[in-house]
Amino acid sequence: MFLLAEFVTKLQYNSDFGGATKQLVDTSAEALQAGRYDDVSREFQKISEELDVSYEYKANYSELAEGAAESLKN
C-alpha cells in the first residue's frame, strides 16, 4: 500500500512540474518573441533566487514557475 501511495505522489509531482514548466516555457517564448527580454530575464532570475530545493520535501518550483508565467502574461 505504501508503494502505491508513493507512486501516486510521484505522478502528482511530475504532473505539477510538467504543467508548470510547460506554462513557463510557453509564456517565456511568447514574451521573447515580443521582445520582452528584460522581463523574461527578471522572472528567471527571481526563480533562481527563490528556488528552495531539498530532498526532504517538495521544492517550490511549481509555484515559482506558475507565478513567473502569470507575470509574463501581463
Half-sphere exposure of 7 (CA within 13 A, CB side): 4
Residue whose grid cell is 509564456: 27
* Confidence grade of residue 7 (pLDDT, cut at 50, 70, 90): very low
Residue 4 has pLDDT above 80, yes or no: no
* Confidence grade of residue 18 (pLDDT, cut at 50, 70, 90): confident
Closest by CA position to 47, among listed 64, 66, 27, 35: 64
Q: State pLDDT tens for residues 22-48.
A: 999 999 999 999 999 999 999 999 999
Of 12 and 63, the one with more pLDDT: 63
First to last CA, the chain: 45
